């Protein structure tokens, strides 16, 4: 692969310790990696040159929490919510039925379209969960679809108890035969710790079984009300506790002390018309925060990290710089992938060229497609 010089960058966000943001900058990409970062007045040797005319360059977004393998949609449920009906975990079963009914080629096509939509909007690293199959075959099928799209594949067999079974036999299935079937395809395990889904002991049993098979742990925690999820994630040493909408001061301290990433998903709160997560309390306490879309048909049908950033600034009280950090290097921490989410020398060359004079415009111009180019592993994909 020939070396590419990207020059005339008006503002470059690298997250370098000394100089996280540079003005009038340039960078060189070689072999899919960043090999040089400096001033655009210097001209290092390169085979090709891309002049971005003063545009802003930020690291590609890292969306560390999505559920984008599913059939059907739940627009009627959304519409009912707008008329005042509250969200409940049980709606997941409608998507389970629609997902099981969909032949694999269609399931793959739909997920592929959503992943392409995410990439076009600047998401260069994507996590995908299963959780709408809930049988051995259907969970495996979902994870095999995810495997065609991303290296970050999370087994969420413990999403809800499917119809026709009881919680305790279903948990035995999830941590037994289902885990056996998916352990070679999944890279992580997750569970939905919530009234109406799984309790603390059930989630612990599922996550420890997954960890025993070498899977990283995530947990849907404290989404709909306060509960034991965050503390459980911390005690198990999970990579992340996701949602964290209803957290006590003890929960916040536990996240910080156990270095568990709080993955916040404000688009879910937007769509379910719920209170937003206390991002400021988490940040002020020193917790690592990530922002993700939670893309799924029930609570958050969006792939747009720009939208999530705008919400985080307006509704979670995050400064634009904090929000961009959470949407890039924060997401990378939630996935334990250290070579993405930043643009220091050695990073994977994943970045977004924005038609804007500064990264602030991501929140300042909500709903506007500012993405001019997306580069993934050194390849211009948009």
Applying CB under 5 A, the residues found at the interface with Fe ion are 294
Q: Which does 298 bind (CB under 5 to 8 A by kind): ligand NIG, Fe ion, none?
A: ligand NIG
91 counts as binding ligand NIG under rule CB under 6 A: yes
Bridge partners of 128, per DSSP, are 153
Position closest to Fe ion via CB: 294
Least distance in angstroms from the C-beta of 132 to ligand NIG: 7
Tokens of 109: 């096509």
* Bridge partners, residue 296, by sequence: 300
Sole binder of ligand NIG in the list 288, 296, 303, 304 (CB under 6 A): 296
* Choice from 192, 301, 307, 351 touching ligand NIG (CB under 6 A): 192
Task: Pull the structure tokens for residue 10.
Answer: 């008006």
Residue 276 touches ligand NIG, criterion: CB under 6 A: no
Cα distance between residue 255 and residue 158, in whole Å = 22
Query: How far is Cα of residue 114 from the mean position of the Cα atoms in its chain?
Result: 13
* Binding site partner of 304, from Fe ion, ligand NIG, none, Cβ cut-off 5-8 A by kind: none
Return the residue nearest ligand NIG (CB atom). Answer: 298
268 binds, among Fe ion, ligand NIG, none (CB under 5 to 8 A by kind): ligand NIG
Instruction: Check residue 348 and report its DSSP letter.
Output: B
Query: Using CA of residue 372, residue 374, residue 379, residue 382, what is the dihedral sign?
Result: negative
**3-state class (DSSP) for residue 155:** strand
Region near ligand NIG per CB under 6 A, out of 46-54, 138-146, 292-300, 362-370: 292-300
3-state secondary structure of 315: helix
From ligand NIG, Fe ion, none, which one binds at residue 142 (CB under 5 to 8 Å depending on kind)?
none
Whose Cβ is closer to ligand NIG: residue 98's or residue 381's? 98
Is 77:296 a contact under the CB 8 Å cutoff? no
Return the range that interacts with ligand NIG (CB under 6 A); candidates 24-32, 279-287, 289-297, 321-329.
289-297
Using rule CB under 6 A, residue 69 touches ligand NIG: no
Nearer to ligand NIG, 9 or 261 (CB): 261
How many whole angstroms separate alpha carbon 258 and alpha carbon 100? 38
Tokens matching residue 327: 């949407």
| Least distance (Å) between residue 144 CB and ligand NIG | 20
- Give the separation between CA 78 and CA 84, rounded to whole angstroms: 10
């Amino acid at each position: 692969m020939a070396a590419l010089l990207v020059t005339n960058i008006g503002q470059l966000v690298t997250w370098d310790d000394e100089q996280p943001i540079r003005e009038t900058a340039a960078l060189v990409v070689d072999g899919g990696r960043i090999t040089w970062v400096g001033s655009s007045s210097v001209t290092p040797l390169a085979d090709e040159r891309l002049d971005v005319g003063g545009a802003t360059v930020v690291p590609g977004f890292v969306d560390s929490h999505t559920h984008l393998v599913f059939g059907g949609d739940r627009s009627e449920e959304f519409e009912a919510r707008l008329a005042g009906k509250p969200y409940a975990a049980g709606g997941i079963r409608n998507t389970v039925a629609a997902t099981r009914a969909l032949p694999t080629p269609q399931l793959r096509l739909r997920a592929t379209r959503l992943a392409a939509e995410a990439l076009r909007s600047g998401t260069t690293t994507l996590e995908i969960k299963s959780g709408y199959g809930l049988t051995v075959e259907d969970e495996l099928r979902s994870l095999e679809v995810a495997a065609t799209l991303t290296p970050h594949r999370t087994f969420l067999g413990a999403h809800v108890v499917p119809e026709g079974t009881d919680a305790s036999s279903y948990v035995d299935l999830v941590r037994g035969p289902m885990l056996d079937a998916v352990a070679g395809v999944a890279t992580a395990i997750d569970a939905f710790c919530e009234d109406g889904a799984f309790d603390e002991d059930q989630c612990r049993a599922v996550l420890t079984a997954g960890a025993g098979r070498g899977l990283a742990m995530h947990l849907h925690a404290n989404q709909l009300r306060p509960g034991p999820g965050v503390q459980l994630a911390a005690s198990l040493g999970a990579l992340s506790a996701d949602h964290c909408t209803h957290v006590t001061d003890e929960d916040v301290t536990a996240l910080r002390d156990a270095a568990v990433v709080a993955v916040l998903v404000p688009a879910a709160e937007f769509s379910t018309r719920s209170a937003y997560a206390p991002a400021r309390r988490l940040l002020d306490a020193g917790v690592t925060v990530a922002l993700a879309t939670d893309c799924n048909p029930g609570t958050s049908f969006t792939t747009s990290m720009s939208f999530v950033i705008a919400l985080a600034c307006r509704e979670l009280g995050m400064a634009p710089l904090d929000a961009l950090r959470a949407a890039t290097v924060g997401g990378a921490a939630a996935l334990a992938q250290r070579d993405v989410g930043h643009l220091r020398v050695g990073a994977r060359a994943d970045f977004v060229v924005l038609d804007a004079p500064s990264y602030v415009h991501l929140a300042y111009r909500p709903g506007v497609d500012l993405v001019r180019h997306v580069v993934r592993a050194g390849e211009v994909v948009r």
